[in-house]
């Protein structure tokens, strides 16, 4: 066989593989990373089901670091201090030295539910996006009521358009709104507690999770 022909074939394959790798990295790298994390989450879920492990926490709190003050000043005193729920927070309860993805997976599957504290900064955060994606995967995989959406800011529906998964969840599920709670924060935290008390049955909407955003903002 002609050596020059072999060199031509080898170099052509190398160029094609290089172009393909560059394309995947440029346009599909986050989708591939997401698929990788979901695959490990699936394996984690399967092994957990076989072992019959129980949940360590009542809820994992997914939030952006810029909203940490609100979580510690408002949420923890109400849910842990007054109502006695066991919450998992990444700055406090993640295992040191363990990869952050493993910590996220352990926190989501080691808790009965996941509460996502959503703000504009939350939507722009890569790690927060991974947390809600993994929690959404668990929701659709187990078909259980394991996800609670808590909006810390009023975010118009058109601003959720780039976040397809979030918009889809908002359209299907009722959620809590901190700005609409106003002065009635006690009622708001009672509703959060009732959301944590609900069973595993998955429903499209849940009247316990109120109040909602105005209907026109959901279009």
Question: Is it the case that residue 215 has pLDDT exceeding 50?
Answer: no
Q: Can you give the CATH number for the domain in which 68 is found?
A: 3.40.50.10140
Domain count within the chain: 1
Is the residue at 38 inside a domain?
no
Residue scoring higher pLDDT (118 or 200):
118
Is the residue at 208 inside a domain?
yes
- The answer to pTM > 0.85 is no
Domain that holds residue 199: 54-218
Is the residue at 8 inside a domain?
no
The pLDDT assigned to 66 comes to 93
Tens-digit pLDDT profile for residues 188-201? 999 999 989 876 55
- 50-to-55, 72, 99, 145, 166 alpha-carbon distances in Å: 14, 35, 24, 21, 31
Q: Assign residue 192 a region: left if phi > 0, alpha if psi is -120 to 50, beta otherwise?
A: alpha
Is the residue at 32 inside a domain?
no
Question: Is it the case that residue 171 has pLDDT exceeding 70?
Answer: no
Tens-digit pLDDT profile for residues 26-45? 777 666 766 766 676 666 66
Q: What is the Cβ-side half-sphere exposure of residue 161, based on CA atoms within 13 angstroms?
A: 5
Is the residue at 40 inside a domain?
no
Beta bridge partners of 42: none
CB atoms within 10 A of CB 64: 19
| End-to-end CA gap in the chain | 66
Tens-digit pLDDT profile for residues 51-90? 555 788 999 999 999 999 999 999 999 999 999 999 999 8
The pLDDT assigned to 45 comes to 61
Binned at pLDDT 50, 70 and 90, residue 210 comes out as: very low
Whether a cis peptide bond, with omega within 30° of 0, leads into 163 is: no
């Amino acid at each position: 066989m002609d050596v020059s022909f072999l060199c031509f074939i080898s170099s052509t394959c190398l160029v094609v593989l290089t172009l393909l790798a560059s394309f995947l990295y440029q346009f599909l790298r986050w989708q591939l990373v997401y698929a990788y994390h979901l695959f490990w989450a699936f394996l984690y879920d399967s092994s957990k089901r076989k072992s019959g492990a129980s949940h360590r926490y009542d809820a994992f709190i997914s939030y952006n670091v810029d909203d940490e003050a609100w979580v510690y000043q408002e949420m923890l005193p109400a849910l842990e201090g007054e109502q006695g729920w066991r919450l998992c927070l990444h700055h406090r309860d993640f295992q040191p030295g363990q990869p952050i993805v493993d910590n996220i997976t352990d926190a989501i599957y080691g808790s009965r539910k996941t509460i996502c504290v959503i703000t504009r900064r939350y939507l722009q955060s890569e790690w927060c996006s991974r947390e809600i994606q993994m929690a959404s995967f668990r929701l659709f995989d187990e078909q259980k009521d394991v996800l609670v959406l808590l909006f810390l800011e009023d975010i118009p529906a058109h601003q959720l358009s780039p976040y397809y998964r979030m918009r889809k969840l908002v359209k299907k599920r009722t959620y809590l709104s901190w700005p609409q709670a106003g002065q009635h924060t006690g009622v708001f935290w009672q509703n959060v507690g009732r959301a944590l008390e609900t069973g595993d049955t998955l429903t499209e909407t849940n009247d316990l999770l109120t109040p909602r955003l105005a209907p026109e903002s959901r279009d």
